[in-house]
Amino acid sequence: MRVLLFLCLLLVSFATAKQQFSELQYRNAFTNWMIQNQRHYASEEFATRYNIFKANMDYVQEWNSKGSETILGLNAFADITNQEYRANYLGTPFDASSIVGTETEKIFAAPAATVDWRTKGAVTPIKNQQQCGGCWSFSTTGSTEGAHQISTGNLVSLSEQNLIDCSGSYGNDGCNGGLMTLAFEYIINNKGIDTESSYPYTAETGTVCKFKTANIGATLSSYNNVTSGSESSLESAANVNPVSVAIDASHNSFQLYSSGIYYEPACSTTQLDHGVLVVGYGSGSSGSGSSQNGSSQSESSQSESSQSGSSQSGSQSGSQSGSQSSGSQSGSQSGSQSGSQSGSGSSYSGSQSGSQSGSYSGSQSGSQSGSQSGLLQSGSGNYWIVKNSWGTGWGMEGYILMSKDRNNNCGIASMASYPKV
């Protein structure tokens, strides 16, 4: 009996030693986070989510205490484990090991010192995939919107739903996955893609293709693949057009990214599970997380309350092929949450203000701390400016600065392409 009691006390002591904050600090941080992120849970789920939040809060604190150029925060993914994040927001990685470093390097244009297509009016506002595996469609519309604006001077938001509903015969699978190059081929052969306003996003795979020639917002003639694994080739391509890229987004650090230049030593250059858009690059100790010159980062018609990730799978030969898919936070985690039990005893809601003493001031929830008029401090060095499709509540108002010229970190140059009008 004494031995059992000793072991129990030892386990309690070990668990306490692993925690970096007091229970009151955890509780108040969780309460404030739930109110800000409008969450609610059934009573039987509350304890699980609270403990996961505490673990993520510890992870954020430990990471940030090391002075990394990558700053983490308690964003909308702070109540899920990394395993849940991968399963629900990412997917089976695409293995690019057979193509990286196998091509002669292609240089598309002489590179400028810095590029930011947002300042040139070639980037639409941050969008949100919601509960549909549509990362490939968002990346495709992003680069196509850029190509159309650069060619015509007109920025037109294009329809992801058009691609999701209508490009199945090209190898895409709607909300279950797809690939940017296959979507480019659809747009080329279809002689256009409809506008967002005429063919709005539903976050579901439609049973009928509703494309109408009268509603075409842009056309393409071809596309180019960046030399796999070459950041120099990607840099030159980014001088021509915003570039669709695939990356490894599987780590806790990406899940909880807040600001700064993202560098993950454990990132893979070949296991790629998320499609995003490179809209430029820069160098120095700061970078703009918000768009400029009229390309504001408000949600278009998508809700900011849900976020999604994506995955890729398949093979690549000549023109890149395979599939990307993405999940999103389920509707059951919308609404409001808090660290206090409601009067009914059956659910938890955001009813506390979190004003109790001992609150955690460094939680960096919601839009994250560290911003001044859209300019967020980041670590020194070179970076890619990357547009995500998880809403403005993630990262730097929907963007992430990813390490540039650091051995193709996270595979940003492993599977990249851009369209031509």
The residue annotated as part of the active site, out of 32, 190, 274, 409, is 274
Print pLDDT tens along the chain (421 aa): 444 444 344 334 434 446 889 999 999 999 999 999 999 999 999 999 999 999 999 999 999 999 999 999 999 999 999 998 887 777 567 899 988 888 888 999 999 999 999 999 999 999 998 767 788 899 999 999 999 999 999 999 999 999 999 999 999 888 877 888 999 999 999 999 999 999 999 999 999 999 999 999 999 999 999 999 999 999 999 999 999 999 999 999 999 999 999 999 999 999 988 889 999 999 986 454 444 433 333 333 333 333 333 333 333 333 343 344 444 333 333 333 333 333 333 345 444 333 333 444 443 433 333 333 333 344 459 999 999 998 999 999 999 999 999 999 999 999 999 999 9
The residue annotated as part of the active site, out of 132, 135, 267, 410, is 135
What one-letter code names the amino acid at 197?
S
Tell the burial category of 1 from Cβ atoms under 10 Å away from its Cβ (0-12, 13-18, 19+).
exposed
At 282-336, the pLDDT tens digits run 998 645 444 443 333 333 333 333 333 333 333 333 334 334 444 433 333 333 3
Q: CA-CA distance, 339 to 77, in Å (whole number)?
A: 17
CATH class for the region spanning 89-284+380-420: alpha beta
Helix axis angle for 135-152 and 180-190, nearest 10°, is 50
Q: CA-CA distance, 16 to 67, in Å (whole number)?
A: 25
The residue annotated as part of the active site, out of 162, 224, 388, 409, is 388
Closest by CA position to 64, among listed 73, 55, 53, 76? 73
Q: How far is CA 241 from the centre of its chain?
A: 20
Q: Is 388 considered catalytic here?
A: yes
- 392 touches 299 (CB < 8 A): yes
pTM: 0.78
Q: Is 135 considered catalytic here?
A: yes
Tokens of 28: 């108040």
Q: Is 37 considered catalytic here?
A: no
Q: What is the DSSP letter of 120?
A: G
101: left (phi over 0), alpha (psi -120 to 50) or beta: left
